[in-house]
Amino acid sequence: MGGKERAAEPVEEPSRAAGACVLVVLAGIVVAAAFAFDEAAGVLLVVVAGAVALYRSVRRTANPAPPPGVERPSCRECAGHELLDVKGQKGMLIYTSAPPDRPNHTHVHVVRQET
């Protein structure tokens, strides 16, 4: 292979797990330093970090219903219904409505959500 060039080998990217391990070690060092400085500061740091992690987790998993827009589903069955709820889920809007003449009936209408 003297005169021929070698095929370029794919470059390996560092894994996400390695980056996460580095961040965990650095966070451990910061917590250890806070506890070494003052025990109350260390406890406060752990409580605040836990509260921030919990807040971010809840914000990420919460899926609030989108506000009902001006446009409602336009099918014959939905005409004259009272809109009960609108939920957004996996690229869809799910409308639930109640017809005025059937009190124990709920009509469900699924519409693809425009992004």
Indicate the average pLDDT of the chain: 79
Does residue 105 belong to any structural domain of this protein?
A: yes
End-to-end CA distance of the chain: 54
Does residue 11 belong to any structural domain of this protein?
A: no
Does residue 90 belong to any structural domain of this protein?
A: yes
Does residue 35 belong to any structural domain of this protein?
A: yes
Rounded to whole angstroms, how far apart are CA atoms 114 and 74?
15
Same domain, 22 and 54: yes
Does residue 5 belong to any structural domain of this protein?
A: no
Average pLDDT (31-54) is 94
Same domain, 56 and 20: yes
The total number of structural domains that make up the chain: 2
Same domain, 54 and 88: no
Does residue 83 belong to any structural domain of this protein?
A: yes
Q: Phi first, then psi: what are they for 8, rounded to 5°? A: -65, 130
Task: Spell out the residues 6+ positions from residue 6 whose beta carbon is closer than 8 angstroms to its own.
Answer: none
Threshold 0.75, pTM exceeds: no
Rounded to whole angstroms, how far apart are CA atoms 60 and 54?
10
Res. 38: pLDDT tops 70: yes
Strands 82-89 and 107-112: unpaired
Does residue 46 belong to any structural domain of this protein?
A: yes
Residue 41: predicted pLDDT: 92
pLDDT in tens, 61-78: 776 655 555 456 667 667
- β-bridge mates for residue 54, sequence order: none
pLDDT in tens, 86-110: 777 777 888 888 777 877 777 777 7
Does residue 47 belong to any structural domain of this protein?
A: yes
Domain that holds residue 81: 76-112
Residue 67: predicted pLDDT: 56
Residue 70: predicted pLDDT: 44
Residue 72 CA neighbour count, 13 Å, CB half: 17
